[in-house]
Amino acid sequence: MPDKDRPQLYLVTPPSFDLDVFPNLLGSVLGAHEVACIRLALATRDEDAVMRAADAVRLVAHEHDVALVIENHIQLVERHGLDGVHLTDGARSVRAARKALGQDAIVGAFCGTSRHDGMNAGEAGADYVSFGPVGETGLGSGERAERDLFAWWSEMIEVPVVAEGALTLDLVRELAPVTDFFGVGEEIWSQDDPAAALGRLIAAMG
């Protein structure tokens, strides 16, 4: 049984992957560890490629009773039997997504490092808010979501919070007491054994 006080796992797919390889790899990770949700986060704008990936990942996710959300593509949620959408523009699209998908769908919002955006997303009806990156990365502005943000949010706001972006074992140890979920992606997919890499991150939660 999972520890109720331990953050849950939220897997983020690689931005591109081989449909002949990744579904089996994902299945092995889901078979080894308890995961709450998966985000299909593809970089491509090729509609056919996104739809085929959505179908393939959905089969694996639902076989393991794991929810699957897709990044930004609201129109594909119902069409492909997905569980919801993860929005990358903060609070801006939350109300529209909720209206389009209904109350039962998952609607999440990535809010960078902005407490204000996070609060607006929660008030607009987001089921969760994610902040990041929490670690050092050469991408983006270089601004990080610090522990203080998560500590404040966990104390003051009821909407669940996700910590993601450039996670390390030390950051997982540091943030475990103040976040509800860890968004884990390239941290494990870039490793030779993603299931083992995820196991190390879980162990660091304490």
> Domain residue spans in the chain?
8-204
Q: Which long-range contacts (CB under 8 A, 24 or more apart) does 135-142 make?
A: 135/165, 135/166, 135/167, 135/168, 135/171, 136/166, 137/165, 137/166
Chain-centre distance of CA 15, in angstroms? 13
Distance CA 91, CA 181 (A): 19
pLDDT of residue 19: 97
pLDDT of residue 140: 76
With a cut of 80, say whether residue 2 has pLDDT above it. no
Preceding omega of 133 cis (within 30 degrees of 0):
yes
Which residue, among 77, 85, 103, has the nearest Cα to 37 in the 3D structure? 85
Which residue, among 200, 205, 151, 202, has the nearest Cα to 178 in the 3D structure? 151
Which has more confidence, 2 or 97? Answer: 97
With a cut of 70, say whether residue 202 has pLDDT above it. yes
With a cut of 70, say whether residue 4 has pLDDT above it. no
Q: Do the beta carbons of residue 160 and residue 178 sit within 8 Å?
A: no
Distance CA 184, CA 193 (A): 14
With a cut of 90, say whether residue 32 has pLDDT above it. yes
Q: What is the mean pLDDT of residues 27-40?
A: 98
Q: Do the beta carbons of residue 143 and residue 131 sit within 8 Å?
A: no
Dihedral (CA of 17, 20, 26, 29) sign? negative
pLDDT of residue 122: 98
pLDDT of residue 138: 81
* Upper half-sphere CA count for residue 97 (Cβ side, 13 Å): 31
Which has more confidence, 3 or 71? Answer: 71
With a cut of 90, say whether residue 1 has pLDDT above it. no
pLDDT in tens, 94-145: 999 999 999 999 999 999 999 999 999 999 999 999 999 999 988 777 899 9
pLDDT of residue 39: 98
pLDDT of residue 5: 80
Superfamily of domain covering 8-204:
Aldolase class I (3.20.20.70)
pLDDT in tens, 42-94: 999 999 999 999 999 999 999 999 999 999 999 999 999 999 999 999 999 99
pLDDT of residue 137: 87
pTM of the model: 0.96
Distance CA 82, CA 193 (A): 27
Look at residue 161 and give its three-state secondary structure.
strand
